[in-house]
Amino acid sequence: MRNAIKGKPQEKVAEVVEKKAKKEKKAVVEINRDFCKGCGICVAFCPKKVLELDDHEKAVVRRLENCNACTLCELRCPDIAIEVGSEEREEGPKVSKVR
| pLDDT tens sequence across 49-59 | 999 999 999 99
Where are the alpha helices (H) located in the chain, listed in sequence order? 2-6, 9-21, 41-45, 72-76
CATH of domain 21-89: 3.30.70.20
Per-residue pLDDT at 79 exceeds 50: yes
Rounded distance between C-alpha atoms, residue 69 and residue 71, angstroms: 5
In this prediction, residues 65-85 reach a mean pLDDT of 97
> Domains of the chain: which residue ranges?
21-89
> For residues 59 and 46, is the Cβ–Cβ distance under 8 A?
no
pLDDT at 23: 56
- DSSP 3-state of 73: helix
State pLDDT tens for residues 6-44: 555 555 555 555 555 445 679 999 999 999 999 999 999
